[in-house]
């Protein structure tokens, strides 16, 4: 949604875009958490990956001229905790700050390691 600031009127929110993942298997878990910063949007998909709930985070970028959101990356856990079902739920929560993106998993690994 984009806020319309017409002079003399009450500001209104207008839907401008509808985002979707390039990978259609993401849809049931797409958008649980989002983080927006300077034309970049991180969108969680904490249940994605062949029904194993391994999860991922999708990165969208707002085109400077087109003003359209485009998926530019999809992130997965580097070392998915070794869970037999792959149910780490990577992307349970996301937060962008400066040059960093923090991604959490909602499952505790079997070996007790906690990684972010």
Task: Extract the tokens encoding 101.
Answer: 């993106």
Start-to-end CA distance of the chain, whole Å, equals 30
Model confidence, pTM: 0.75
How confident is the prediction along the chain (116 residues), in pLDDT tens digits per residue?
Answer: 888 777 667 778 888 888 888 776 665 678 888 999 999 999 988 776 566 667 888 999 999 998 899 999 988 876 555 554 456 778 788 999 999 999 887 765 555 555 54
């Amino acid at each position: 949604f984009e806020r319309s600031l017409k002079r003399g009127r009450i500001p209104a929110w207008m839907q401008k875009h509808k985002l979707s993942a390039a990978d259609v298997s993401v849809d049931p878990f797409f958008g649980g958490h989002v983080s927006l910063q300077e034309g970049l949007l991180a969108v969680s998909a904490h249940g994605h990956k062949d029904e194993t709930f391994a999860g991922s985070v999708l990165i969208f970028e707002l085109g400077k001229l087109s003003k359209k959101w485009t998926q530019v990356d999809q992130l997965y856990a580097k070392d998915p905790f070794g869970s037999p079902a792959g149910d780490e739920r990577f992307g349970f929560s996301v937060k962008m700050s400066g040059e960093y993106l923090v991604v959490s998993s909602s499952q505790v690994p079997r070996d007790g390691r906690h990684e972010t």
